[in-house]
Amino acid sequence: MKKIRIFLISIFFVIPFYAYADLQATITTSPEIPSPYEPVTITISSYSFDVNTAMITWTVAGKKFISGMGIKKISIPSGGAGGVIPVRVKADTASGESVELSATIVPQSLDLVWETPESYVPLFYEGKSLPGEGATVKVVALPSMNEKGKQISPENLSYSWYVNDEYDDNASGYGRQSANFMLNYLDDRTDIKVRAESPNGSVAEKTTTIYPHEVMPLLYTYDYLFGSNFAQLLNRRLETTNDTVISLEPFYLSTKGALKNSVSYNWSLDGLPVTAQNDTLLALSPKSDSVGTRSLSVEVFNSKRILQKAEAALEIIFDTRN
Name, in order, each residue with C-beta under 8 angstroms of 173's C-beta and a sequence gap of 6 or more. 158, 159
Tell me the three state secondary structure of residue 156. Answer: helix
**Superfamily for 26-105?**
Immunoglobulins (2.60.40.10)
What is the per-residue pLDDT across 215-225, written as a single tens digit (0 to 9) for each?
Answer: 999 999 999 88
Domain range summary for the chain, segments of one domain joined by +: 26-105, 109-210, 216-319
Averaged pLDDT, 171-197: 95
Torsion on CA atoms 74, 78, 79, 80, rounded to nearest 10? 180
Q: Is residue 5 scored above 60 in pLDDT?
A: no
Tell me which residue of 298, 251, 222 sits closest to 127, measured CA to CA: 251
What is the per-residue pLDDT across 250-301, written as a single tens digit (0 to 9) for each?
Answer: 999 999 988 999 999 999 999 999 988 889 999 988 888 778 898 999 999 9
* Architecture category of domain 109-210 in CATH: Sandwich (2.60)
CATH class of 216-319: mainly beta
> Which band of pLDDT confidence, cut at 50, 70 and 90, is reported for residue 13?
very low
Domains 26-105 and 216-319 in one fold: yes
Averaged pLDDT, 157-182: 97
Distances in whole angstroms, Cα of residue 319 to Cα of each of 127, 207, 221, 294: 37, 56, 17, 11
Return the ∠ at Cα 201 (arms to 207 and 141), rounded to 5°: 30
Amino acid present at 116: T
Tell me which residue of 167, 158, 166 sits closest to 196, measured CA to CA: 158
What's the rounded Cα separation, in Å, for the pair 36 and 85? 12
- In 166-258, the DSSP E strands lie at 166-174, 178-182, 190-197, 203-210, 216-223, 227-233, 237-240, 244-251
Phi and psi (nearest 5°) for 257?
65, -135
What's the rounded Cα separation, in Å, for the pair 129 and 137? 10
Averaged pLDDT, 126-141: 94
Averaged pLDDT, 51-80: 94
Q: What is the pLDDT at residue 121?
A: 94
What's the rounded Cα separation, in Å, for the pair 292 and 109? 63
What's the rounded Cα separation, in Å, for the pair 83 and 148? 8
Q: What is the pLDDT at residue 14?
A: 27
What's the rounded Cα separation, in Å, for the pair 211 and 187? 9
Contact 282, 244 (CB under 8 A): no
> Which band of pLDDT confidence, cut at 50, 70 and 90, is reported for residue 114?
very high
Q: What is the pLDDT at residue 21?
A: 45
**CB-neighbour burial class of residue 285 (10 A; exposed 0-12, middle 13-18, buried 19+):** exposed
Sheet holding 272-274, edge to edge: 237-240, 309-319, 291-302, 263-269, 272-274
Stated pTM of the model: 0.79
Averaged pLDDT, 188-204: 94
Distances in whole angstroms, Cα of residue 26 to Cα of each of 100, 208, 242: 10, 31, 80
Q: What is the pLDDT at residue 282?
A: 92
Q: How does strand 237-240 pair with strand 309-319?
A: parallel
- The one-character DSSP state at 51 is G
